[in-house]
Amino acid sequence: MKQIVVIGAGSWGLALTLQAARTGAPVHLRARNPASRLPNGAMPRLPAHPLPAQVTVSNDMPENAGPENTGMVLVAVPTQYLRSTLTQLETTAPVVLCCKGIEPHSLRFPLDILHDIRPDLTGAVLSGPNFAHEIAAGLPAASVIASKEPALARTLADRLGTLTFRLYDSTDTAGVQLGGAAKNVIAIAAGATIGAGLGENARAALVTRGLTEIGRLAAATGGLPATIAGLAGMGDLLLTCTGEASRNFRTGAALGSGLTLNETLATLGGVAEGVPTAGALAELAHRKNVSVPVIDSVASLVAGELTVKDAIARLLARPAGTEA
């Protein structure tokens, strides 16, 4: 059985490392600080989950990371660090990008960045409604692996999937990546409604309108409606907008309660991808001539241009009309 390599020892990278080990394959985790391993064999981001014996940990790639020995390389770093990570990537095996976002200055999605840096590599993207701590615990979950190459997407899904981690394959890389990026932005808005005490009705309305915006933007970038209605779209949106474990939701809730963005991020314990993604998505929508009032409001909120109260007032002041 070919090895699986995971790059990134954050909570998501560690969860994927544990999932990869469940397939029975040997696993190599490339961590920035491998010496931080705890006495119980776990890493700091998931201290309750020791890594099994079949997992090796170092700050380098394994000696032979070619496709003859390596089934896939899972890259689990935040989108803002993806370009620098891929620049240092030494492999010719298939690469699965496990981040959700869009690069702010270039408006490039993860697979675009991979093509910019390593056009020689075959790539895929993993996205879906997955909290890291639940994947680490082996609780039932489902997700999507998307690639322009159908056979590759299915092969990668078969290699990483297990009975408790059901993986579907897709060729709609545009829709899967857009859904994964945009749901983090909508989750900030959902959190803000709860943090501001506006209630569940407001959250449900906002999430539903946010899904409409995601669908419009996906269509403008080549995504399919079925993808936005599926795991990488609505599924991920529902989880992120309702689960307290979502860093993006918690960011919005803190902003809604009156904290500043700096105060919020200082205590977050990880990266909220929706913060850098909001402005980039708003700009992308502007270039595509797509109306995204919720995304625009979040972009203004995290940029410090609007307060939560002002953002809510702006959304409520929009004229009502036919639902579309």
The predicted pLDDT at position 322 comes to 76
Tokens (6 digits) for 268: 């977050």
From the annotation, which residues make up the binding site?
A: 11-12, 32, 100, 128, 132, 183, 236, 246-248, 271, 273
Question: From the candidates 2, 148, 183, 309, which is the catalytic residue?
Answer: 183
Is-catalytic flag, 2?
no
Residues of the chain with pLDDT under 50: none
Question: Where does 77-149 have alpha helices with state H?
Answer: 82-87, 110-117, 132-136
The CA distance from 178 to 173, in Å, is: 8
From the annotation, which residues make up the binding site for sn-glycerol 3-phosphate?
A: 100, 128, 183, 236, 246-248
296 exposure class (CB count in 10 Å sphere: 0-12, 13-18, 19+): buried
pLDDT in tens, 63-74: 888 889 999 999
Phi, psi of 170 (to 5 degrees): -150, 155
Contact assessment for residue 78 and residue 45, using Cβ atoms and an 8 Å cutoff: no
From the annotation, which residues make up the binding site for NADPH?
A: 11-12, 32, 100, 132, 247, 271, 273
The predicted pLDDT at position 107 comes to 97
CATH T-level topology, domain 181-316: N-(1-d-carboxylethyl)-l-norvaline Dehydrogenase; domain 2 (1.10.1040)
- The domain locations on the chain are 3-171, 181-316
The predicted pLDDT at position 271 comes to 79
Phi, psi of 321 (to 5 degrees): -165, -160
Looking up tokens 């776990």 gives 42
CATH T-level topology, domain 3-171: Rossmann fold (3.40.50)
Contact assessment for residue 13 and residue 43, using Cβ atoms and an 8 Å cutoff: no
Closest C-alpha to 5, from 86, 62, 53: 62
> Does 181-316 match 3-171 at the fold level?
no
